[in-house]
Amino acid sequence: MSETFGPGSALPDIALTSPDGSAVKPSDFVGRKLVLFFYPKDDTPGCTTENKDFSALAAEFGAAGTALLGISKDPPKKHIKFIEKHGLAAPLASDAEEGGLSDALGIWTEKSMYGRTYMGMERTTYLVGPDGKIARVWPKVKVKGHAEEVLAAARAL
């Protein structure tokens, strides 16, 4: 388990892969607010709802000077299908590399279901200020109402 990253910490500047294959890093967003929402898997019920909720509010996040980036371990091609299938407006990125951003943040973690343990993404959202420092963290997110709560926090930042 790595050190914890909470409010006031600088976000690790580890590159992710956008659906078109290009690299995207947290430092690309310095100067504006950024919401990074980490979710377990494309096209599963909770993750689809979360992505649709953030997408529905994408224009409002933009008006609040806040960029959005949804992140999972799914490969870029799967993200493209997910975006097209659900008409998602929130940009997605893949964190498939070993030692990637979710590993550094400690949210790629051991989970357990039905007595089986496996590695999985802990649904977590980070609000990052224009200075690149974490302003707020939502660990173990419950999807219902979450995007609205994050938007309110982004507006207040």
Domains (ranges, CATH) in the chain? Answer: 16-156 (3.40.30.10)
User: Using an 8 Å Cβ cutoff, are 157 and 61 in contact?
Assistant: no
Structure tokens at 71: 């992140």
Q: Is 47 among the catalytic positions?
A: yes
Non-local (6+) Cβ contacts of 20 within 8 A are: 76
Catalytic residue among 11, 24, 36, 47: 47
Tens-digit pLDDT profile for residues 86-137: 999 999 999 998 899 999 999 999 998 899 999 999 999 999 999 999 999 9
Tell me the pTM.
0.94
Instruction: Give the residue-averaged pLDDT of 14-38.
Output: 96
Distance from C-alpha of 7 to C-alpha of 144, rounded to nearest angstrom: 23
pLDDT score of 97: 86
Distance from C-alpha of 124 to C-alpha of 152, rounded to nearest angstrom: 17
